[in-house]
């Protein structure tokens, strides 16, 4: 994933969850005045898109690649289906 690549935008339905391996992602919160604030950094110990299986199809943050690198991604519907089954995602 290249530097500056936008993975998801605030308020837009997310299509994938991202699990960075060598990339670093920034989660930005967009303020009313048009500016943004970085509220989290996601590295190889986390994922972007958790809100998909926590009750929403979209997120309040924008996810942007802060440091170029690699990432795994999985379709959102696959994760939500497994989560709703109470399968391995719940353990």
pLDDT digits (tens, 9 = 90+) for 38-50: 999 999 999 998 8
Structural domain boundaries in the chain: 6-84
Residues 49/18, Cβ–Cβ less than 8 Å = yes
Mean pLDDT of 64-82: 91
Query: Which listed CATH number (3.40.630.30, 2.60.120.10, 2.30.29.30, 2.40.30.170) goes with 6-84?
Result: 2.60.120.10
What does residue 84 show for φ and ψ, rounded to 5 degrees? Answer: -70, -25
- Summarised one tens digit per residue, pLDDT across range 8-44 is 998 888 889 999 999 999 999 988 898 989 999 999 9
Mean pLDDT of 52-64: 80
Name the burial class of residue 48, with classes exposed (0-12), middle (13-18) and buried (19+) by CB atoms within 10 angstroms of its CB: buried
Alpha carbon of residue 47 to chain centroid? 6
Q: Tell if the pTM clears 0.85, that is, is over it.
A: no
- Greater confidence (56 vs 74) lies with 74
């Amino acid at each position: 994933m290249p530097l500056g690549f936008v993975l998801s935008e605030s308020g837009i339905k997310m299509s994938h969850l991202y699990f960075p391996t060598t990339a670093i992602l920034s989660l930005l919160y967009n303020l009313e005045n048009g500016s943004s604030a970085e509220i989290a950094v996601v590295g190889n110990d986390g994922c972007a898109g958790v809100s998909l299986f926590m009750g929403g199809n979209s997120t309040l943050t924008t996810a942007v690649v802060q440091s170029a690198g690699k990432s795994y991604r999985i379709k959102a519907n696959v994760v939500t289906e497994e989560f709703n089954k109470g399968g391995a995602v719940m353990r």
